[in-house]
Amino acid sequence: MSDFSKPWRCARALALIVAGLAGLGLNPGPGGAKDRVVWLTVRHEDLNDGVRLRALRVFLRELDALPARAVALEISAQPGYDPGMAALLLDDLLALKIPLHAYVRTSALGMGALLASGCNTISLHPGAVIGGAAPTLAGKLDDAESRQTLSVLRARLRGLAVMKGRDAGLLESMVGLPGPGRVGEAATPSTMEVVTLTAAEARERGLASGVADRMETALAQAGVTGEPMRIGEEGWAAETPAAPGPEAAEPEEPVPAGAPGGAGYAGKIVVIEVGWDDLMAKARFQFMERVLAKARREKPVALIVEMDTPGGYAMETSAILRPFQDLSFPTYTFVNTHAESAGSLIALATDHIYMYPTSTIGSALPVTGLGEDLPGNLSKKVEAMTRAEVRNIAIAKGHNPDVAEAFVTTEKELSLDGVVICRKGEVLNLNAVEATRIFRGKPLLAKGMARSLEEIVEKEGLSGELLRVRPSPFEALAQWVQLASAVLIAIGLAAAYTEMNTPGFGLAGFIALLAFGLFFFGNNVAGNMAGYETAVVFGLGLVLVVIDVFFFPGTFLAGIAGLTLMAVALGFAMIDRDAFGEFTAGGAGAPGFAGVFGRPAVSLAAGFGLSLGAIALVMRFLPGLHAFQRLVLATAVPSGTGLAVDPLLGATGQAVTDLRPSGRVRIGSNLVDVTTEGEFVARGTEVRVSRVQGDRVLVTAVETP
């Protein structure tokens, strides 16, 4: 690795870019910012180091927003590059609208030739060369994977050729075509014919628009005028003050922070904790997205993900991987002590991985929301998409793509230097020793082992305050509610039942309102479908249940309809809003029925099951409590009547309302709320108290001779 890859040098490079952009906006000069031409020097190290290339890509994606006329790239690059990283760079070039002009001072070989091909014009110094863009391939060209890599790269070059008006065949020949006289013979990198052109040849064949001994002349030949604005004239790896000594580099104690906006990130080492249940809570993903967005703006020294998780939601994990790709500062994962399933994919999205000595990583095979294997064709489709995604992530971050692919499939056998690492039919999971084992001069996956964050900071030579970012109280509440939804449903239903069986409005009613309020609020904050609509449907169902119990007892129709509405509202409130939208839209990659409704259905069933158990306990033990008996008597029998529970047993009275099966009976001079054993009793019928159970007074009709 080049010395230019040191984090403080990359930070300086990014600072130069930011300073240049600020200069464009704040100091437009006499001619205005729109009359300026941004000059950027791109060297070989910038195209072959993962962190530096990502900084360049971030800059390129922001070019269209620059208040400038054009961008001039002074390119000096040597042969050899990673084809996956080149493909990402070409994607960025294809999307740009601002004019790009390339000037090759010495050589534009390897990825430098591809970068120049994506510019509107190309000019070369008289002694410069361009081409020699054969990628560095792990295997031979008779390997299917290598052929596919070259095929994709050539297709992108053809797309560039059409957009820029160049000879597609010439661009492809710079990448490499089979040499003459080798028809039927397996082509290898050593037998490839790769075209490299001098300045005169490039101009003669229409690739270059001019030959010039300096950038100013090249731009004039291309008809580009404007005041130059140089960014990084000394190169992105320009020398900076000496690296801090041991005392300055010594890490400070981690400082807790509240919400992502609560503390500045600049000059600090940001630490995100991913705990055991964090990847199973949608609110946690939203929190991480906000942290990454703020980090992208404020540019910390580095970002470290401290991870101990068995995995979690697949779609949310896939969505969080992209923000990691756009960061221009070094990122690390500290596996302490588990990075399984979705956790291993997040680790792959960071630049460097460190393992605790007893940690493990891997086992990211796609499964349903219930943890079961995907069915048939859906399994094949999802697995193919996941394999392609993790390979791209690994390539972009400089990890071994074969290792990443073995994490998510059982169809791949992985062996290096004659050592079988993962057999076909198995999914790869690595311990710390295996992940750090050296193959072909590089670790298999992890950069090294560490026992603490401070040790990683010391090994990487980072300097700055360790800043742990944590969710806000509301985000933490939403995360807790998601995990405890079944318990809140059980508490709410049991408390509501208790409230309906006690006179007035008391503690049980307050508990029911609190439980259901937390349930809907937490799921709403977590990004689920809990909202005004589901709350209104739930409230309507509750009203129907109350009507059935108190106004039309014994009919059951309103009660059944009410319970159905309540169950539907509770279930839909736990469904992820984005996943439901993708499911209803359909199409490739849309989640299946189980992936959208499986977990909410399980939580709903568990909540109703727990509530039935809680209601049974209430019916069994609550009437026997002394405090409960006093509460019932104080209302069921008005004070001052002299009546008690025992004297009521066997007493007779007359029904003043229809008993369906509940209603009111006059016993002596008092009105008492009663319930029959289930039969209907008409108003005016004489009844007798057969049983007294806490607040319930059960009566039967007195048979007439």
Task: Determine which of 154-158, 250-254, 540-544 has the lowest per-residue pLDDT on average.
Answer: 250-254
Q: Identify residue 531 by its one-letter amino acid code.
A: G
Q: How many domains does the chain have?
A: 4
CATH assignment at residue 344: 3.90.226.10
13, pLDDT greater than 60? no
Confidence of residue 263 (pLDDT cuts 50, 70, 90): low
What pLDDT was estimated at residue 181?
A: 37
Please check whether residues 357 and 253 belong to one and the same domain. Answer: yes
Q: Is residue 239 included in any domain, yes or no?
A: no
Q: What angle do CA 517, 519, 522 make, to 5 degrees?
A: 100
What pLDDT was estimated at residue 213?
A: 87
Please check whether residues 76 and 193 belong to one and the same domain. Answer: yes
Please check whether residues 203 and 256 belong to one and the same domain. Answer: no
Work out the average pLDDT over 349-372: 82
Work out the average pLDDT over 22-32: 42
Please check whether residues 599 and 531 belong to one and the same domain. Answer: yes
* Higher pLDDT pick, 582 / 450: 450
What pLDDT was estimated at residue 192?
A: 55
CATH assignment at residue 664: 2.40.50.140
Confidence of residue 251 (pLDDT cuts 50, 70, 90): very low
- Per residue in 199-225, pLDDT (tens digit) is 888 999 889 988 998 888 888 888 888
Residue 103: closest CA among 157, 17, 39, 44: 39
Query: Which range of residues forms the domain containing residue 325?
Result: 246-471
Please check whether residues 346 and 364 belong to one and the same domain. Answer: yes
Please check whether residues 414 and 489 belong to one and the same domain. Answer: no
Confidence of residue 694 (pLDDT cuts 50, 70, 90): low
Work out the average pLDDT over 21-50: 63
**Which alpha helices (H) appear in 27-77, and where do they start and end?**
44-48, 50-61
160, pLDDT greater than 50? yes
What single DSSP character describes residue 253?
A: P
Q: Is residue 220 included in any domain, yes or no?
A: yes
> Which class for 158: exposed (0-12), middle (13-18), buried (19 or more C-beta within 10 A)?
middle
- State how far the Cα of 339 lies from the Cα of 344, in Å rounded to an integer: 5
Please check whether residues 181 and 263 belong to one and the same domain. Answer: no
Please check whether residues 356 and 445 belong to one and the same domain. Answer: yes
What pLDDT was estimated at residue 532?
A: 80
Looking at every residue in the chain, the average pLDDT score rounds to 76
Q: Is residue 169 included in any domain, yes or no?
A: yes
314, pLDDT greater than 70? yes
Work out the average pLDDT over 654-679: 82
- Per residue in 574-630, pLDDT (tens digit) is 887 766 766 776 655 556 677 678 778 888 888 888 888 888 877 766 655 444 544
Please check whether residues 381 and 529 belong to one and the same domain. Answer: no
- Per residue in 97-130, pLDDT (tens digit) is 888 899 998 888 888 898 898 888 999 988 888 9
Per cent of the chain over pLDDT 70 is: 75
Confidence of residue 502 (pLDDT cuts 50, 70, 90): low
Q: What is the dihedral of CA 494, 498, 504, 505, to 10 degrees?
A: -20
What pLDDT was estimated at residue 33?
A: 52
- State how far the Cα of 504 lies from the Cα of 498, in Å rounded to an integer: 11
Residue 197: closest CA among 206, 187, 189: 206
Q: Is residue 236 included in any domain, yes or no?
A: no
For 372-436, list the strands marked E by DSSP. Answer: 414-416, 419-422, 429-431
Confidence of residue 641 (pLDDT cuts 50, 70, 90): very low
Work out the average pLDDT over 653-670: 83
Work out the average pLDDT over 240-257: 39
Q: Is residue 677 included in any domain, yes or no?
A: yes
Confidence of residue 168 (pLDDT cuts 50, 70, 90): confident
- State how far the Cα of 381 lies from the Cα of 393, in Å rounded to an integer: 19
What pLDDT was estimated at residue 343?
A: 92
656, pLDDT greater than 70? yes
Please check whether residues 463 and 498 belong to one and the same domain. Answer: no
* Higher pLDDT pick, 617 / 487: 487
Residue 522: closest CA among 567, 472, 573, 560: 573
**Which alpha helices (H) appear in 425-553, and where do they start and end?**
432-435, 453-460, 473-483, 485-500, 507-525, 532-550
Phi and psi angles of residue 313, each rounded to the nearest 5 degrees, phi first: -65, 135
Q: Is residue 521 included in any domain, yes or no?
A: yes
Please check whether residues 217 and 338 belong to one and the same domain. Answer: no
* Higher pLDDT pick, 526 / 360: 360
* Higher pLDDT pick, 88 / 29: 88
Task: Determine which of 26-30, 350-354, 650-654, 667-671 has the lowest per-residue pLDDT on average.
Answer: 26-30
Please check whether residues 564 and 517 belong to one and the same domain. Answer: yes
Work out the average pLDDT over 167-188: 61
